[in-house]
Amino acid sequence: MSTICVHGLGYIGLPTAAMFANYGYEVVGYDVSEELVSRLNQGDVHIEEPGLRAFVTQALESGKLRIESEIVPSKYHLICVPTPFDTESQRADLSYVEAAASATTPHLRTGDTVILESTVPPGTTVGTVQPILEESGFEAGKDVALVHCPETVLTGDMITELKQNDRVIGGVNGVSTEAAVRLYETFLEGEIRTAANATTAEFVKLLQNTYRDTNIALANEVAKLARDYRIDSRAAIELANSHPRVDLHQPGPGVGGHCLPIDPWFLGQESDELDLVARARQINDEMPAYVVNLVDDHFESLAGRKIAILGIAYKGNVGDTRMSPGLQVAAQLRAIELTDEDSDGPAEPPRISLNDPHVTDQTRDLEDLETAIDGADAVVITCDHDEYAAIDPETLASRMRGSVVVDTKAIVDEDAYRESALTVVRL
């Protein structure tokens, strides 16, 4: 089978490399981090993801996957490097993509295929990658195939989604597209959908995540409106969704992960027409502050209060903390400036305790659940982990000093909590 070099061994590159290796390809996983290469060669999988450690180990032990700090000539080069968002310029940082393309060029041979999987602004494949590759004298679409094929996996079920999700493939020409189709159809169980060109494929990936982000923004605004009318936003959304042409998402404390908070900005990077999408981003970014206000509404002052944040992963039942709403709520609570009216000095700021049973990052100063809630004046649930849905309200009430529970994910039994003299506040 053809050889594959996967550039970048992060959240997408590593499972992708293991996937192809477990389907019989000779795969080299390449990364610029020698520390990461060393860890992986020792069997230390750095990504917390169900089943991934065993999946990567299987690929390594079969000999089909090698982890290297050098690029090797390969029939296919898959670029899976990060594309951070520069908040100052409001633009994608394409330096990793540029570096990967430049590093690939010396190893290209006639007939090879370069596939950009990284999520990028429309026009990156032809406007950034193609000129770099063609500096070597190769012509994209003729001497080498050049394609964009974005991933669409969800943390917590990455291996299944890599196999089962549909893939959109768009090359700089038809020959390029077909080269990528032949590769992905060897393991993909979902549909392969070909785009007219690489830019369309880039646009489609961004459009998918922008739809979700904008829909969540609508749900968040609905939650605020419903609160003013003293009605249950989620009950209203459920009833609205009974209509066959309505599909409202659910409100929450904000939007996390690497995709939804970032991709909508990529969509409008080379256009002045970003309007509704930009406002949706603003609404979602404001949700952590709204949650803080929900807490603040129940106290004359937050000075000296202990507030437990339950959930610093960006979504339920995973350990991924990228762009975590829970961490943003905690940061905003810590940043509150309070004045003690009874003295000339500043008041004692609120004390924040963090708990998350799925996060293993030791730098987060996490506490076990009992310690986190002991003496808490308020508990804020920012993740719908199964463990939080199972919390016994009587135990919670006995350990808290106060009684306020802000449930941003609507996972607790309100009636049971109220029977335990707890005040439940829901989005």
Render 234-301 in DSSP notation, one character per residue: HHHHHHHTTSTT-------S---SSSTTTHHHHHTTT-S---HHHHHHHHHHTHHHHHHHHHHTT-S-
Domain boundary among 196, 219, 240: 196
Average pLDDT of span 131-137:
95
Same structural domain, 189 and 302 = no
- Catalytic position from the list 5, 80, 149, 259: 259
The pLDDT value given to residue 48: 86
Q: How far is 87 from 329, CA to CA, in rounded Å? A: 19
Is 81 inside a domain boundary?
yes
The pLDDT value given to residue 123: 98
Is 255 inside a domain boundary?
no
pLDDT at 357 over 60: yes
| Share of residues in the chain with pLDDT > 70 (%) | 98
Is 14 inside a domain boundary?
yes
Cα torsion angle, 126, 129, 132, 135, sign: negative
Is 354 inside a domain boundary?
yes
pLDDT at 342 over 60: no
Distances (CA, A) of 225 to 35, 62, 289: 50, 56, 16
DSSP label at 407? E
25, two tokens: 């390809």
Same structural domain, 187 and 305 = no
134, two tokens: 């063609």
Q: How far is 124 from 270, CA to CA, in rounded Å? A: 11
pLDDT at 180 over 90: yes
Confidence band, pLDDT 50/70/90 cuts, at residue 400: very high
3, two tokens: 């050889």
Q: How far is 44 from 65, CA to CA, in rounded Å? A: 14
Task: State pLDDT tens for residues 297-319.
Answer: 999 999 999 999 999 999 999 99
Task: State pLDDT tens for residues 37-72.
Answer: 999 999 999 998 999 999 999 999 999 999 999 999
Is 222 inside a domain boundary?
no
Task: State pLDDT tens for residues 5-31.
Answer: 999 999 999 999 999 999 999 999 999
Is 296 inside a domain boundary?
yes
The pLDDT value given to residue 344: 58
pLDDT at 383 over 60: yes
pTM, 2 dp = 0.93
Full domain range(s) for residue 174: 3-196
Close Cβ partners of 331 (under 8 Å, ≥ 6 residues apart): 288
Of 4-18, 67-81, 195-209, 339-353, the one with minimum mean pLDDT is 339-353
Please state the domain count of the chain: 2
Domain boundary among 133, 162, 196: 196
Same structural domain, 57 and 157 = yes
24, two tokens: 């019989």
The pLDDT value given to residue 339: 61
Please give the backbone phi and psi of residue 323, each rounded to the nearest 5 degrees, phi first: 55, 35
- Catalytic position from the list 205, 306, 315, 409: 205
Average pLDDT of span 255-274:
94
Q: β-pairing, 113-116 with 76-79? A: parallel
Inter-residue contact 192 to 218 (CB < 8 Å): no
Same structural domain, 160 and 294 = no
Same structural domain, 24 and 162 = yes
Q: What is the CATH number of the domain that holds 36?
A: 3.40.50.720
3-state secondary structure of 307: strand
Is 125 inside a domain boundary?
yes
Confidence band, pLDDT 50/70/90 cuts, at residue 346: low
pLDDT at 97 over 90: yes
Bridge partners of 355, per DSSP, are 310
Same structural domain, 180 and 318 = no
Inter-residue contact 3 to 26 (CB < 8 Å): yes
The per-residue pLDDT of the chain, averaged, comes to 95
Average pLDDT of span 351-372:
94
Average pLDDT of span 203-227:
98
The pLDDT value given to residue 341: 58
The pLDDT value given to residue 163: 96
202, two tokens: 């880039």
The pLDDT value given to residue 155: 85
Q: How far is 404 from 142, CA to CA, in rounded Å? A: 65
Proportion of the chain in helix, strand, coil states, percent, rounded to 5: 40, 15, 45
The pLDDT value given to residue 362: 81
Same structural domain, 191 and 293 = no
Same structural domain, 42 and 173 = yes
Is 390 inside a domain boundary?
yes
The pLDDT value given to residue 340: 57
Q: Is 259 a known active-site residue?
A: yes
Same structural domain, 178 and 319 = no
Domain boundary among 141, 170, 196: 196
User: Based on the number of CB atoms within 10 Å of its own CB, is 337 exposed (0-12), middle (13-18) or buried (19 or more)?
Assistant: exposed
Q: Is 142 a known active-site residue?
A: no
Of 396, 394, 392, 353, which is closest to residue 372 (Cα–Cα)?
353
